[in-house]
């Protein structure tokens, strides 16, 4: 069975269905509520596990109630959490998320600075047992160590290159991964605003030893550069209900496709499909689809064209 190691952050999302985002301080009555484990690496691991592969998460959470919930949700999705470390005297990350009827979301995020960044305890020798590694940018010390070990072993490495307040951490990780897939804002943060998407991707591709450098662009699909040049895969036509976690799901599905040896276009198409199914369901990471659900969706989808999804990043 294909096995993927995910490294990075795990948080707890509390999600509220809102009629609209407020324009001034007020009290809003939500029409629905859900809660679930979240965060880029955690949602990627859940995606991989629900697609029938072996998923392991290396992360840190607080030794608190939210940490209990995060671990329990991951275990329910059959993610290996044996290396999710509980940190005493630290609080788990948490997000309050508002989602409106058109699928847009707004997040209030707390990350405890007391959540230790040390990665020296990670069992790096175990990296050899995985077919691919996915890392996010929220725990850069660990991501750097794991990517370096995987590259030394000849394993494919996927970086979920999302926007971060720590630009140096993002910029330091990008050259290390064999496969880098940006969100649009993160691509601008790293490559600047000069030139179109192709030119920005080309600059990053040329600066490192990458197999692929890509970007997710919501309703415009995904574009990338590899040895064959500039490529584009259209998005999937859907009615978006909730885009929360869509980018995390995309990266998890893409990493699984890479681990399975799929060609770049097939990997991008698969990631688009899994993320699209997620966006048709309300509830954030709690509604990440299974392999059977993706297959059923694919069977009834006529084409992979322009999507109504607001953001896969």
The 8-class DSSP code of residue 289 comes to P
Phi, psi at 181, each rounded to 5° = -120, 115
Token digits of residue 269: 């198409």
Query: pTM (2 decimals)?
Result: 0.93
**4-62: per-residue pLDDT in tens?**
999 999 999 999 999 999 999 999 999 999 999 999 999 999 999 999 999 999 999 99
Question: Cα Rg for the chain, rounded, in angstroms?
Answer: 18
Let me know if domain 3-300 sits in CATH 3.40.1190.20.
yes
Q: Return the residue matching tokens 């691991």.
A: 45
**Ranges of each domain in the chain:** 3-300
- pLDDT at residue 308, rounded to an integer: 38
Mean pLDDT by runs of 10 across the 313 residues of the chain is 97 94 92 95 98 98 96 97 95 94 87 91 98 97 98 98 88 96 94 91 94 93 96 91 92 98 97 95 92 92 44 39
- pLDDT at residue 309, rounded to an integer: 38
- pLDDT at residue 219, rounded to an integer: 83
177 three-class SS: coil
Q: Give the DSSP letter string of 34-52.
A: EEEEESHHHHHHHHHHHTT
* Alpha carbon distance 204, 215 (integer Å): 12
Token digits of residue 64: 């608190």
Do the Cβ atoms of 214 and 181 come closer than 8 Å? yes
* Alpha carbon distance 282, 48 (integer Å): 20
Angle (CA) 186 297 46, round 5° = 50
* Alpha carbon distance 135, 7 (integer Å): 5
């Amino acid at each position: 069975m294909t096995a993927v190691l995910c490294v990075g952050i795990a948080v707890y999302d509390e999600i509220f269905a809102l009629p609209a985002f407020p324009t001034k301080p007020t009290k809003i009555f939500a029409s629905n509520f859900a809660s679930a484990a979240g965060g880029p690496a955690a949602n990627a691991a859940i995606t991989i596990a629900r697609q029938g592969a072996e998923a392991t998460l290396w992360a840190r959470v607080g030794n608190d109630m939210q940490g209990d919930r995060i671990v329990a949700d991951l275990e329910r999705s059959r993610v290996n959490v044996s290396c999710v470390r509980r940190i005493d005297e630290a609080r788990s990350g948490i997000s309050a998320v508002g989602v409106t009827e058109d699928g847009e979301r707004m997040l209030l995020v707390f990350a405890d600075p007391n959540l230790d960044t040390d990665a020296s305890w990670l069992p790096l020798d175990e990296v050899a047992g995985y077919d691919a590694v996915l890392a996010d940018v929220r725990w850069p010390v660990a991501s750097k160590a794991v990517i370096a070990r995987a590259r030394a072993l000849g394993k494919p490495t996927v970086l979920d290159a999302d926007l971060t307040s720590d630009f140096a951490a993002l910029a330091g990780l990008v050259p290390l991964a064999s496969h880098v897939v940006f969100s649009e804002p993160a691509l601008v943060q790293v490559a600047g605003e000069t030139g179109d998407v192709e030119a920005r991707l080309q600059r990053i591709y040329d600066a490192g030893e990458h197999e692929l450098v890509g970007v997710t662009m919501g309703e415009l699909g995904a574009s990338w550069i590899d040895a064959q040049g500039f490529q584009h895969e259209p998005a999937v036509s859907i009615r978006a209900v909730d885009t929360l976690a869509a980018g995390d799901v995309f990266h998890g599905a893409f990493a699984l496709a890479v681990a399975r040896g799929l060609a770049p276009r097939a990997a991008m198409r698969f990631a688009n499909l899994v993320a699209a199914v997620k966006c048709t369901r309300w509830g954030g990471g709690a509604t990440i689809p299974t392999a059977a659900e993706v297959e059923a969706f694919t069977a009834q989808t006529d084409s992979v064209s322009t999507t109504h999804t607001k953001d896969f990043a």
